[in-house]
Chains A and B, each alone.
Chain A
C-alpha cells in the first residue's frame, strides 16, 4: 500500500481533473438509479391512482413531472456516460504521460553506475509493463471505490429520509460490501497477483532460451527437457491465474447476491411501512428499485482490487529501479581545469561481486596533445577504465585529475564540454540522422552535420538516401547497419570541441579500408586535443605517441 504513495502523489497533481471525472461517474450511476426508481414510482403511483379513480375518488395526478424526470434521467445517463468515458480516458492518457516522463526524469538523475543494467531488454520490458500497471491506478483502484461510497451514501440517505429505519439496513450493508469488494478482495488476491509478474518473467526467459538456443538444444537432444521446464513454469502461472479468476468470480457473484438481497429486504421493509400507513406505495417501490440500480456502482470493484498485489509490486519495482543507486554526486568544486593534462594516481576499482579488481593501482599521465592507445584482451576492463576516465564511474581509491581538478567533482557541464567519450556501444535513437547527430550539439547547422559525416566516410551514403539527413534510422538504429551506426556515433563526437577525446573500440565492425579512410580524416580533428583510444587492434589510429596494455588490472607500457 505504502509503495503506491509516490504514484498517488503524482496522480493528485491533477486533482481537479480526477474530481471532475469522479463527479461524472457519480452522475452516471445516480442517473441509472433515478431512471429505474422513478419509473417504478410512476407505475405504482398510476396504478394506485387508477384504483382510487375506479373507486370514485377524483384525486389529482400529475403525470408530466415524473414523466419529464424519467426522460431527463434517461438523457443524463447517456450524456454523462459519454462525457465520463471521454474525459476519464483523456485523464488516464495524461497520467500515462506524467508517469512516463516522471520515471524517465528519475532515471536521468541516477548515477551512471546503475545504468549499464538499463540496457537489458528484459528489464526494459518490465519497466514498461510496470508503468502500464500503474497507468490504470485511477480508473481501476481510486475512482470506483470512491464512486461506490458516494453513491451508496446518497442512496442510503435518500431512502433514510423517506423511511429512517431503512438507514440501519442499507448503510451498514453497503459499507460492508464496499469493504469486501475492495480491501478484503485485494488481500485475498494479494499473494497470487504479486507472484504473477515473477512467473510471467521466468516463463518469458525460458521462451527466450528456447528461441535463442534452438540450434544447440536440438543438437544436444535437450529440446524435450527444456520444454518440460517451460511447461512446469507455465502450469504454475496458469494455476495462479485460475485461483485469481475463481476468486474474482466469487466476488462478482457476491455483489449480485448482496445487492439483490438488499433490494428485496428494503422492499419488505418498505411494504411493511406502507401497510401501517407510514409510506406511500409508490415510494416503497421506488426504494427497492433504487437499491437495485446501485449494483452498477459495485460491479467493477472486484476486478480492479483482485490484482491489487500486482499493482503494488509494479510500484515497488519502479521505485526501486529509480532509487537503485545514490543520485549523482553534486560537484564540490567550482575550480575549472586550465590544461588538458590527465593524471591518474593509483586507481583501484573492483566490481562489488567480483573477486579480483579491474584496475589495481593504475598510474598514468597523459600530457596535453598526446595520443595514447590502450589495448587488452576482452574482459580485461578496458571499458570500465574508459568509464572511469570519463567520470562515469568513481574509483574505489586513487585519484583522477584533469587539469589539476578531480574529474568526479567537476560540474557535469564543464566535464562534458572538455571530455568527449565514445562508449563501446553506439547508442542510437529512434529519430532522424540529423536529430541523432544534434544530440551532441543542438545548434549544429547542416553544413557541420555533413562535415562530420564526411569525416566518418558516411557522407556519400547519406547523399544517396532519398531523405538525406532526415532519414529515420529506426529504434536503436536498427534500420542501418552496425558499422554505419558505429560511424554515426563517432560523427556525433566530432560536433563537439573537447580537450580530451576517449574512444572505446571506435572502429569495431569496420573493414580495413574504411578504418584507414576515417583514421586519416580524424587526424586533423584530433590535432590540439589529447586522445585515449581503447582497442584490440591499434592499427588505423593515426599518430599514436604511446601504446599501453591493460592486463590483470595493471597497465604496462608496450615496448616496440
Chain B
C-alpha cells in the first residue's frame, strides 16, 4: 500500500470512529465532565493548601483555627477520587458499548456478505480480527476521546488562574505551551507509524513461531529441531533490534515534551523564589506572596499533566485507527443481494437468462436458462472452473446474478466438500437443521447415512462431543454427519457440491445410498459432481463448459 492511499483509508477510519462516538455521546460527556470537574478541584485543592501554608507560616495562625480549611481539603480530595472513578467507569462504559455494537455490526455484515464473499478471508484469521480489532477500539473511546477535551480545557483553566495570580508566571508556562502541540503531532505521527509497523512485525514474528511449532514433528524427523530453537530465538532478537530503533525515536520525542515541562516547572519555581526575595523588580513580581507563589508552584505540574496523559493515550488512538482501517475494509465489501423469487409447485428451480461474473475473473456463468422439475435428481458435470459451484451458489442465493431471474423454493439444504461441524455434541450438530427434532428423529437421520454403528460404539451416544475440527471422527464420518442434517430438514430442495470428493470407498457408498434415499423422499436434488457413480443415480445430467450450458442426457428422465 502506498502512503497516500494509507492516509486516505485512515481518514475514513477517523470518520467512522466519530460516527461510533455519536452512539455513546452520553457516556463520553459524563467522562469528560467528570474529568473537567476533577481538574477544577485540583485547582481548588492547590489554592486551599497554599492558603493553609501561608496562614500557618506567614500569618502565624494556629492550626486549630485552620481546622475548617483542613476539613474542606478532605472533602475536595474525596470528591476528586469519586470524580476520577466516575470518569474512568463512564469511559469504560463507552468503550464496552462501542465494542459490542461494532461486533454486532460486523457479524450482521458478514452474514449479509454470504459464504462466497466471505471465503476470500481466512476464517480463523477473520474471527481473530473481529475479536482483537474490536477490542483495540476500547482505549480510544474510554480514554483518548475524553482526554482530548481535558488536555485543552484544564491547562487553559490553570493558565487563567495563574495569570490572575501573576501574569509573568503564566507567560513562563505559556512559553513552553506552543511547543507542545508541535511535539504532540510529532509524537502522534510517530506513534501511528510505529503502531502499524509494530502490528505487522509482531504478526510476522508470531507467524514464524507458530510455523515452527506446527511443523515440530517434521523438524524432529529430520533432526532439525535443535537448530530451530536458535531460529526462533534469532527471529525474536531481530525483532527486538528492529523495534528498538523505532522505539528510541518515539521515546525521544516524548522525552522532549517532558523536558520542556520540567524546565517550565523549574523556571517558575526559581522565578518565584527570586521574586519573593525581592530580586526581581519587574512586572507583577514584587506583589508575589507565599500564598500566590505556592499556589502557582502547585499548579505548574498540573498544567502539563493532562497533556502528558494525552500523549500516553495517543497509542490508543493509533491502535483504534489501525483497527478501524481493517474493520472498515470488511464493512465496505458489498453484500450479496439475493433477488430470489419463490418457485411454484411443479418447477423447483427456474433460472431465466442469468449470468454471474466475479471481480477479476469476468463472467464465470451464463447467460443461461434452466428449469428443474420438482423431485428431479439433477447432476451438474463439467471440468473444474466450468462454473458448477457458481451455479449452486447462485441457486442458494450466495451470489447474485448480473442479469436474469432465479426462482427456487424458500427453504433448501446445503452441503459442500468441507462439512461444517459445530463445537458441541452430535445432537447439537444435527439439531442445527431442526431445532425441535426428537432423539428418535436424530437416530433415524443417522441411520440414513449409516452412522448408527459408529454411534453405538460411543459411550455417550448422541451427547458425544464433536470439536470444531471434527477430531475424533474421520473426514468421511464428518461428511455423513453433515448429510444427516439434510434428512432432518424438510427442505424440498437439496444443493450438494461434490459431496463424495475425498471420501474412501466405504463412506462414498453410504453417501450414494443417502442421495438415493433423499431422491426417494421426493426432494429435488441438484448435485455438482464428476463422479460416475453419482451420474448413474441421477435423472438428468447438466453439462457445463466455461459457464455455458450443454444439456446432457439423463439416466432415465
Contacts and interface: CB of A to CB of B under 8 A. Distances in A.
Given A242-B96, A439-B222, A208 B84 contact: no
Given A100-B232, A203-B131, A204-B128, A271 B53 contact: yes
Given A216-B485, A423-B217, A256 B84 contact: yes
Which residue, A118, A219, A230, A260, has most C-beta atoms of chain B within 10 A? A219
27 contacts: A63-B270, A63-B279, A70-B270, A73-B262, A86-B251, A94-B240, A96-B239, A97-B239, A108-B216, A115-B216, A125-B128, A200-B131, A208-B127, A209-B420, A210-B110, A212-B420, A223-B111, A242-B93, A252-B88, A257-B80, A274-B56, A285-B57, A379-B473, A416-B221, A423-B218, A440-B224, A476-B214
Interface stretch (A46-54, A168-176, A449-457, A515-523): A46-54
Contacts of B546: none
B104 to A, nearest CB: 8
Contacts of A416: 221-223
Nearest to B97: A238
B8 interface: no
Interface stretch (B158-166, B185-193, B289-297): B289-297
A118 B505 CA distance: 30
Given A49-B276, A100-B233, A475-B207, 12 more contacts: A38-B269, A47-B57, A50-B277, A53-B278, A104-B228, A127-B210, A128-B206, A218-B115, A230-B107, A355-B458, A439-B219, A492-B222
A219 B396 contact: yes
Nearest to B113: A214
Query: Which 9 residue pairs of A and B lie closest in terms of their CB atoms, listed nearest first?
Result: A379-B474, A427-B215, A97-B236, A39-B269, A377-B504, A213-B420, A249-B88, A93-B240, A427-B218
Interface stretch (A5-13, A77-85, A311-319): A77-85
Interface stretch (A180-188, A261-269, A332-340, A538-546): A261-269
Nearest to B95: A245
Contact of B244 (A93, A211, A215): A93
A423 B411 CA distance: 43
A512 B55 CA distance: 99
Interface string A70-114: 110111011101100110011001101110110011011010100
Given A70-B269, A260-B45, A118 B216 contact: yes
A120 interface: yes
Interface stretch (B71-79, B347-355, B356-364): B71-79
Which residue, B74, B217, B474, has most C-beta atoms of chain A within 10 A? B217
B211 A475 contact: yes
B278 A50 contact: yes
Interface string A408-431: 000011001000110100011110
A353 B273 CA distance: 80
Interface stretch (B252-260, B370-378, B514-522, B537-545): B252-260
Given A215-B416, A238-B99, A271-B63, A82 B252 contact: yes
Interface residues of A, number: 140
B17 interface: no
B327 to A, nearest CB: 14
Contacts of A20: none
Interface stretch (B19-27, B118-126, B147-155, B438-446): B118-126
Question: Chain B interface: which size bin?
Answer: 35 or more
Contact of B269 (A43, A242, A378): A43
Contacts of A93: 236, 239-240, 243-244
Interface string B476-513: 11000010010001010001000000011111000000
Nearest to A264: B73
A489 B62 CA distance: 89
A63 B274 contact: yes
B216 A430 contact: no
A464 B232 CA distance: 31
Contacts of A46: 272-274, 276-277, 293
Contacts of A49: 276-277
Nearest to B256: A78
Contact of A108 (B115, B219, B252, B505): B219
Contacts of A74: 262-263, 265-266
Secondary structure dominating the interface of B: helix
B113 to A, nearest CB: 8
Contacts of B225: 108
B197 interface: no
Contacts of B297: 39-40, 43
Secondary structure dominating the interface of A: helix
Interface string B460-471: 000000001100
B217 A275 contact: no
Contacts of B53: 44, 267, 271, 284-285
Given A93-B244, A104-B209, A377-B507, A207 B457 contact: no
Contacts of B168: none
A122 B128 CA distance: 10
A274 B245 CA distance: 52
Contact of B294 (A216, A248, A285, A440): A285
A225 interface: yes
A36 interface: yes
B100 interface: yes
A221 B114 CA distance: 13
Given A50-B277, A211-B127, A227-B107, A70 B266 contact: yes
A427 B413 contact: no
Nearest to B57: A281
A93 B226 CA distance: 22
Contact of A250 (B85, B217, B223, B434): B85
A234 interface: yes
A355 B211 contact: no
A427 B411 CA distance: 42
A473 B218 CA distance: 17
B100 A238 contact: yes
A378 B507 contact: yes
Contact of B293 (A47, A125, A223, A241): A47
B425 interface: no
A75 to B, nearest CB: 7
A249 B489 contact: no
Given A222-B435, A429-B211, A86 B218 contact: no
B477 A379 contact: yes
Contacts of A45: 273
Contacts of A356: 457
A388 interface: no
Nearest to A63: B273
B403 interface: no
Given A203-B131, A238-B100, A208 B474 contact: no
Interface string B44-86: 0100010011001110101100000010011001101110110
A210 B130 CA distance: 12
Given A40-B294, A253-B85, A268-B70, A430 B131 contact: no
A496 B223 CA distance: 12
Nearest to A36: B301
Interface string A454-496: 0000000000000000000001100000000000010010001
B74 A264 contact: yes
A97 B233 contact: yes
B89 A220 contact: no
A256 B476 contact: no
Nearest to B291: A47
B81 A257 contact: yes
B217 A536 contact: no
A67 interface: yes
A137 interface: no
A177 to B, nearest CB: 13
Contacts of B270: 42, 63, 67, 70-71
B414 interface: yes
A559 interface: no
B100 A260 contact: no
Contacts of A264: 49, 70, 73-74, 77
Nearest to B210: A124
B432 interface: yes
